[in-house]
Copies of this chain bind each other. A is one copy, B any other.
Amino acid sequence: MSKKASQPRDQYSIDDIDKEIIRQLRGDGRMSYRILGQNVGLSEAAVRQRVNRLRENNIFTISVVVNQEAFGINSSATIGINAQGDLRKVARKLADIPETEYVNITAGKFDIIVDVLAADNKELSRIIIEEIKPIKEITEISTNIIMENYKIAYGAGPS
């Protein structure tokens, strides 16, 4: 028993077949392993093994992606924020607001950028006025209402 090098946990190598699997599963995350196998040119068992490996190693998850309009979300915004004090604390507060979708600490014109999803303009307005503005560390808010979406890729990577 040779001493095994601990398997490369932090840099998992993804080959072309894995990429093709991801591409397939993007269209239908519940596609059967048999069909998936056909589509990528492997046996059913082989793709299952790969998918399991990829999921276990956290390369991807299979999840629901909600169609916001159908869900009654008709008013969204990307909001740039500047703040003083502990940015992480502010980011956490923003993340705790249920209607925030995407919260990042950034370097650039803004300290934090937040995406907010709301049912309508009234609700969006409420969230900004009642939830965001009162966070006292915030010094500046720049709201950009989303008018038309041209692309959304959900982390599927360059396609």
Contact = CB atoms under 8 A, between A and B. Distances in A.
A151 interface: yes
Contacts of A110: 144
A34 interface: no
A85 interface: no
Interface in A26-65: 26-30, 57-65
Contacts of A14: 71-72
Given A29-B29, A62-B28, A109-B80, A104 B148 contact: yes
A123 to B, nearest CB: 10
18 contacts: A12-B70, A22-B66, A59-B70, A60-B65, A60-B67, A62-B62, A63-B64, A63-B65, A78-B104, A78-B113, A91-B148, A95-B151, A99-B158, A101-B153, A102-B153, A104-B148, A105-B148, A152-B155
Given A28-B61, A63-B154, A105-B148, 13 more contacts: A12-B70, A14-B71, A60-B67, A64-B154, A66-B157, A78-B113, A92-B150, A100-B153, A101-B153, A104-B149, A107-B144, A109-B144, A113-B144
